[in-house]
Structure 1
Amino acid sequence: MRSAQAPSLPPLRPRRGDARGGTFSWPVSKQTSKLLLVQTAANGFDALLPRVGAGEPRCSGSGEVSPPVERDSNLHHEGMSIVWSNHSPNLKGHYVNRLDTTKAAIVVIDIQNDFCHSRGYQGLRGRDVGRVQSVVGRIEEFTREARELGVPVVFMQNLHDPESDTHEWRARHLEPRASQSCLPGTWGAEFFTLVPQPQDHVLPKARYSAFTNTGLEALLRSLNRTSLFFCGTATSICVETSLRDATCLDFLVTLVEDCCGDYSDIAHNNTVRSVASGFGAVTPSKHVMEGLRISAGHG
Structure 2
Amino acid sequence: MNLERSALILIGFQNDYFAEDGILHSVVEESSKVTGVKANTLRLLESAGERFGLVVSTPIFFTEGYTELEDPVGILRTIRDAGAFKAGTRGAQTIEELGRFSTLIREVPGKRGLNAFSNTALDGLLREHRIDTVVLAGTVTSICIDSTGRDAFERGYRVAVLSDCTSGRTVAEQNFYCAEVFPLYAQVLRSDALTGLAAPAVAA
Aligned match for 1:279, one of 185, 194, 197? 185
Is 1:202 matched with 2:107? yes
The alpha-carbon distance between structure 1 residues 286 and 183, as it changes in their structure 2 partners (threshold 3 A), is: same
- Counterpart of 1:148? 50
Q: 3-state DSSP class of the match of 1:158?
A: coil
Output the TM-score relative to the length of structure 1.
0.58
CA distance in 2: counterparts of 1:207 and 1:163, whole angstroms: 12
Is 1:245 matched with 2:151? yes
CA distance in 1: counterparts of 2:113 and 2:77, whole angstroms: 19
Letter in 2 for 1:194: L
Q: How many Å apart are 1:201 and its aligned residue? A: 0.7
Q: 3-state DSSP class of the match of 1:263?
A: coil
Q: Is the 8 A contact 1:106 1:143 kept in 2?
A: no
CA distance in 2: counterparts of 1:100 and 1:173, whole angstroms: 34
Deviations 1:54-107 (A, max 9, x none): xxxxxxxxxxxxxxxxxxxxxxxxxxxxxxxxxxxxxxxxxxxxx113311100
- Percent of residue pairs identical: 23
Q: How many Å apart are 1:149 and its aligned residue? A: 2.0
Q: Is the 8 A contact 1:146 1:153 kept in 2?
A: no
Q: 3-state DSSP class of the match of 1:208?
A: coil
- Counterpart of 1:159? 61
Q: Is the 8 A contact 1:160 1:206 kept in 2?
A: yes
CA distance in 2: counterparts of 1:174 and 1:225, whole angstroms: 30
Deviations 1:22-76 (A, max 9, x none): xxxxxxxxxxxxxxxxxxxxxxxxxxxxxxxxxxxxxxxxxxxxxxxxxxxxxxx
After TM superposition, the structure 1 = structure 2 runs for residues 85-164 of structure 1, keeping only pairs within 5 Å, are 99-123=1-25, 126-132=26-32, 134-161=36-63, 162-164=65-67
The alpha-carbon distance between structure 1 residues 128 and 227, as it changes in their structure 2 partners (threshold 3 A), is: closer
- Counterpart of 1:188? 91
Deviations 1:88-146 (A, max 9, x none): xxxxxxxxxxx1133111001111110112211113xx435253253101101112233
- Counterpart of 1:64? none
The alpha-carbon distance between structure 1 residues 159 and 243, as it changes in their structure 2 partners (threshold 3 A), is: same
More strand by percentage: 1
CA distance in 2: counterparts of 1:173 and 1:145, whole angstroms: 33
Q: How many Å apart are 1:173 and its aligned residue? A: 5.7
CA distance in 1: counterparts of 2:116 and 2:6, whole angstroms: 17
Question: Matched residue pairs, number?
Answer: 189
Q: Is the 8 A contact 2:28 2:140 kept in 1?
A: no
Gaps of at least 5 residues in structure 2 are 198-204
Q: How many Å apart are 1:151 and its aligned residue? A: 3.1
More helix by percentage: 2
The alpha-carbon distance between structure 1 residues 164 and 267, as it changes in their structure 2 partners (threshold 3 A), is: same
Q: Is the 8 A contact 1:154 1:203 kept in 2?
A: yes
Letter in 1 for 2:29: V
Q: Is the 8 A contact 1:110 1:156 kept in 2?
A: yes
